[in-house]
Amino acid sequence: MMKKKIANLVPEFRKQFIKEDLPVFLYHYTSIEAFKSIIDNGEIWATAANYLLNDPTEMTHAEKIVLETLKERKERFKEEGLYERFENVIKGDNALKQYVCVFSFTEEEDLLSQWREYCPKGGVSIGFSGDKIKRNIGDACIQDGTYVENYNDYIREAYIYKCIYEPKEQRQKINELFDFLLKHTDFQLYGFFSKMIQTFSYSFKHISFKEENEWRLVYWPDENKLKYRVKDSILIPYFPFLTIDHNKESIISKIMIGPSRNKENLKNSITSYLKNSRVSPFIEEVKITDTPYQPRL
């Protein structure tokens, strides 16, 4: 009975809160080494959020807003006996938060701050088809490189949404979410509701990051399905999503060559490399940024 209720709620939650149409293209800035890994392996890696975020206040920022909004509505939640439960969930369960996996996109193809942050020694912005991203994560979640059919299971649900930067809009969204939760109050669904709150909070960023126009793919994988990579002597958990959709088409469509000491040579080598890759038929263009910034040697 509980699974059936959850399966019915997921589409309603999506319709109300994850309803934006994706842009025609979304971009991801990365190093040449990581770009080659994405093409060779046919995967993008959603990294455990605790190891990913470039803003150290990001999760406390979202938590602060959610707790303040919850407190403003304390009397209503007390009527349902939920206030303390939601307060504890928002404040705690660090083990649960540790395995939320996030992959970041932006609407901006050629943004200086992104080149500096993610490609300090040179790199590319990879252009992904918005329609194919949406179809790919909507059709199925990826488990060890194979598709599964149970994507309406709330634990396996992946969300992609635009980040919210304006404080007023953040509070409005949290109030709308609380209205939704109160409308469907059911003790058995408490775990599902707590995950909805935590998942949605990953769309909140400080207003100083507004120029990034970020979108996020957020996913709660089974801990046993996580993989690990090494960076700076740390093991970092991640979850792989395929870049080839169920129609055998690449979701990668464009490549922008970032600031480099020799952009023309880099473009030539990347173009040659892509010709022998499985994404070759789907690449619409490879072009070079006009940004005069010079990366570090």
Condensed to tens digits (0 to 9), the pLDDT of residues 43-94 reads 999 988 877 655 656 667 777 888 888 888 888 777 666 777 777 767 765 5
> Is the pLDDT reported for residue 187 higher than 60?
no
Whether 184 is covered by a domain: the verdict is yes
Whether 240 is covered by a domain: the verdict is yes
Rounded CA separation 140/157 (Å): 9
pLDDT at residue number 147:
37
Whether 165 is covered by a domain: the verdict is yes
Whether 191 is covered by a domain: the verdict is yes
Whether 293 is covered by a domain: the verdict is no
> Is the pLDDT reported for residue 145 higher than 50?
no
Indicate the number of domains in the chain. 1
Whether 294 is covered by a domain: the verdict is no
Q: Is the Cβ–Cβ distance between 132 and 245 less than 8 Å?
A: yes
Q: Which domain holds residue 126?
A: 2-288
Whether 295 is covered by a domain: the verdict is no
Q: Is the Cβ–Cβ distance between 24 and 214 less than 8 Å?
A: no
Whether 296 is covered by a domain: the verdict is no
Q: Which residue has the higher pLDDT, 122 or 186?
A: 122
What pTM was estimated for this model as a whole? 0.86
b (16+ CB within 10 A) / e for 156-190: bbbbbbbbbbeeeebbebbeebbebbeeeeeeebe
